[in-house]
Chains A and B, each alone.
Chain A
Amino acid sequence: MKILVCISHVPDTTSKIKFTSDGHSLDKDGVQFVINPYDEFGLTKALQLKEEHGGVVSVITFGDSDVEQTLRKALAIGADDAYRLDGVPNDGIQTSQELAFFIKENEFDLIICGQESIDYNGGIVPGALAANLNLPFINACIGLEINDNVANTVRETDGGKETASANLPIIIAGKKGLVEEKELRIPNMRGIMTARSKTLKVIELSGAKSLSESISFSAPPEKKAVKIISSENIEELVRLLNEESKVI
């Protein structure tokens, strides 16, 4: 089975987010970048499926040379080969089209994305990719099993879940549940050593255009200082929630 894991390269979850003084972009100074947490679940799932069914796990990121450290990490975790689409993505549509262009030329049985990138929180790429490739799509996928040529999946709904199945090839957008937190794989020494000899191929873009653009970024408004209420005076909290915040 040929599996492709689409990985976005995002600020670590503990990062303090600041923007450049012109407000045009993220200030990357001092920010650590990691594999998008949703994609980490997908990568581990791909490796498990390979162990079960045999095959190859490839990883791909659309980004400039900075993202290679993230791809190397994915190789160290166990992916067999890596691809970098050489450019800077501007929006989800452009990203999905570039990924689709690559996938059409390389054919995969299973394409695993994350439910969203934790940087821009777009949640656009996987569905757009599925429509572009005309493949079945399961968003917020929290369970996946492959039997013969059929993917049996579980999708998260608002406050519940439902099952869905489709023939391969299929695109899923995964999240925690696809594998459990404790199953997540991390690079070990051997992995880091062998990652160096694995291929990381740089691919030229096909020239897809973005359809939206960022104009500016700003920080959210600051909260006012907290009002501490004595635990002996809970009625006061109820009064404030009613009269001041008007939420009850």
Chain B
Amino acid sequence: MVIIYAETWNKKFKKTTFEAVNYGARCSKEIGTEAIAVVFGECDSHLADLGNHGADRIIHIQGIEQFEPFSFATVLSDIAKEFNGKLIIVNGTANGKSLIGVMSSLLSSSAISNVTELPVNYEPINVHRSAFSSKGIEKCSSKSNCTILGIVPNSIGIISLEDIESIIEVRNIISKGKTIFGESQNESGNVPLPEAERVVSAGRGMKGPENWGIITELAEVLNAGTACSKPVSDIGWRPHSEHVGQTGIQINPQLYIAIGISGAIQHLAGVSRSKTIVVINNDPEAPFFKAADYGIIGDAFDVVPRLTEAIKSFQK
């Protein structure tokens, strides 16, 4: 069996949850088995939507509402044992990253994180993953019966599979958590960075936090997440959660627009996997241009508002 952690956020499936389910379903077809999606807590999204992405069976866990690494990992591991799990698929989100190590120990299974493709082989599981902060690709082989794969959100995409009328099973489970979580709060824009398909990012070239309006406006018309370089979050112009790079969040959106960012090696390490990179910088020698697909040499304060307008007219 292939078991997938079907993550919810505010009682709805994350967009990347469908990608994980789809990934798991594609693996299960290759192995000749079935895909089981596991959902925790109250859920306002239609469970059947997971079937449309390939889940044969959906196990809806009731009684555990809030994320806690041990309680979630224990439930997923128990399901993996019950169904003789061959693969467990978890997204590389904040929650997913908290689970993968815990589960690997609970199950004595190998855990391969940062996976960017479907496995190359299934006997044993051989799979490519990103390593050295996107400066290398590692081919990794699992030596255990069950393998946990942490996949990089947005890196694999969704293909359409035959719609499945999935079996839905509800289970009531008492939580086995070790920590007591309090309230969570959101600080960045509407689109969480790790799953954003488009990201607008800006650096010290913006001169000060009061100038971020043109950045958020561009992000809004593109329905993009906003990000920043490290010094920008260090000085407090933007929240920590927007810092991308080697020591920040690593992202791989379809489109990354870098404005007033020089393109230091540590910055590139977190964004170089983006499919298309646009750089706007007034210094033609800025190293970022070497890593870009498209570049505009110019003053951000002049270029960005005009780009926003141009996209608006294109969208009409």
Contact = CB atoms under 8 A, between A and B. Distances in A.
Contacts of B101: 92, 96, 123-131
Interface string A159-203: 111111110001000011100111000000000000000000000
Interface string B189-225: 1011111001000000000000000000000001001
A93 B148 CA distance: 12
A61 B150 CA distance: 25
Interface stretch (B36-44, B50-58, B264-272): B264-272
Contacts of B240: 142, 156, 176-177
Contacts of B298: 231
Nearest to A232: B298
A139 B104 contact: no
Nearest to B109: A211
Given A13-B247, A137-B178, A164-B179, A231 B185 contact: no
A182 B110 CA distance: 38
B99 interface: yes
A125 B294 CA distance: 39
Nearest to B245: A13
A137 B70 contact: yes
B176 to A, nearest CB: 11
B314 A242 contact: yes
A228 B138 contact: no
Interface in B287-316: 289-298, 302-303, 306-307, 310-311, 314
Contact of A226 (B97, B198, B295): B295
A127 to B, nearest CB: 2
Interface of B: 9, 69-70, 73, 93-95, 97-106, 108-114, 126, 130-144, 147, 150, 178-189, 191-195, 198, 222, 225, 234, 240-241, 243, 246-248, 250, 254-255, 265-266, 269, 272-273, 275-279, 289-298, 302-303, 306-307, 310-311, 314
6 nearest A-B pairs in the assembled complex, by CB-CB distance: A127-B101, A231-B298, A162-B184, A131-B105, A211-B110, A163-B182
Interface of A: 11, 13-14, 16-17, 19, 26, 37-38, 91-93, 96, 115, 118-132, 135-140, 142, 153, 155-166, 170, 175-177, 180-182, 210-220, 223-224, 226-231, 234-235, 237-238, 240-242, 245, 247-248
